Structure 1
């Protein structure tokens, strides 16, 4: 992941990379942006910029000059997109001293989020950096929601699989599931819930239980929550102490 475990994106963790072949511009912009509370990675050529981007995933905003030796700003943005691992979140902006409208068209086609004319107006830059920061944060939130939905879908699928009688349950608890032989409060549990409860009683962690039963760790967490609610036991330790010996 990135940005110090990805979320929340804080003003002290998201790093801004400034790329320009004119050192004085890099120095001035870096000083200004650092005064806003951000960490800055200064680069004087595109080669160093590509290397820094690959090595530091806390870089979430890239501000680049348009015309530089080697790669143009638009070409740099294209290379960043090629090098970025799937799911990496960042935003880009370009500044230039040229008045050629073609530069703007090329930047927009490349997916650049913002565009500044040199000399850069610092108030506009500050507002722009905040917009880019907000966009990255929004992307992070959306990514987390998608991941939570995927995890929940996988967990529900695992839980639903136990309702299909033709599908065997891996290493299910040996305890009888007859209502006449299971004492309260464990008689309220399903076959899979009993299996999880028995493994908790053996001192297994959620990860170990997931491996033992062939389900996801998130599914185990859901089962544990259900078991504690149904048995009215407050925690795993109490559950292990009151769990009866299997017969």
Structure 2
């Protein structure tokens, strides 16, 4: 499984139900992996091995779907989870959604509802991947800055003028201008506004992904 692979993992102890979901999803060109228990999924799970989403029966023998979800959250897994629930478990599923689960479907549900939930979950996966990519790109650019260029960057995004930065750092304005020009080039920033937006977005995304 590569880092760019997106697979749908079905975790359900009902073999006939798993098979029917697998057939439906594969007929729509999704890559599907089935697991007959939460324990079986955890035994096969490796962090960092691709992206995915889970279709997860909320109530199963042994470890329940809800317990599996809690375990994945504790491990920092951000895959969207679609819970499958019977009528009596809807309140539990609602609470799971409030705690970050992507969606839940109450049995019986139609194919269109499942496919819509999966499409929404995979859109969330792609959004996370793009955020991670943006964070990595900005980190790579920041890593090319010298210590002095980082000091200039911090003061520029605080809105300080060159003269103030020169006074802060005890260097000449011309030296500030030279560091500032190199820093802007390395960051790929077209303007101060562009630089500020890039760094602020990077810090916000990094905070969400942490």
Which deviates more from structure 2 when the two are superposed, residues 57-66 or residues 24-33? Answer: 57-66
Query: Is residue 70 of structure 2 the alignment partner of residue 78 of structure 1?
Result: yes
Within a 5 Å distance, the mapping from 1:122-161 to structure 2 comes to: 122-157=111-146, 160=149
Partner SS, residue 62 of structure 2:
coil
Say if 1:144 and 1:55 are closer, same or farther in 2 by CA, change over 3 A.
closer
Bigger Cα Rg: 1
Distance 1:105 1:5 in 2: 31
Aligned partner of 2:2 among 4, 16, 30 = 4
Q: CA deviation at 1:135?
A: 0.7
Q: Deviations over 1:117-167 (max 9, x none)?
A: 112321011111111111100110011111111121121236838x9xxxx
2:25 aligned partner:
33
Q: CA deviation at 1:115?
A: 0.4
Distance 1:157 1:125 in 2: 51
Give the gaps of 5 or more residues in structure 2: 153-182, 187-210
Say if 1:100 and 1:66 are closer, same or farther in 2 by CA, change over 3 A.
closer
Distance 1:58 1:146 in 2: 18
2:101 aligned partner:
112
Q: Deviations over 1:22-66 (max 9, x none)?
A: 110001001111111111111111110112222782351111011
Q: Deviations over 1:213-246 (max 9, x none)?
A: xxxxxx9xx6xxxxxxxxxxxxxxxxxxxxxxxx
1:98 aligned partner:
87
Structure-2-length-normalised TM-score: 0.65
Say if 1:130 and 1:101 are closer, same or farther in 2 by CA, change over 3 A.
closer
Say if 1:32 and 1:83 are closer, same or farther in 2 by CA, change over 3 A.
same
Distance 1:158 1:98 in 2: 59
Contact 1:17-1:59 at 8 Å conserved across structures: no
Say if 1:71 and 1:98 are closer, same or farther in 2 by CA, change over 3 A.
farther
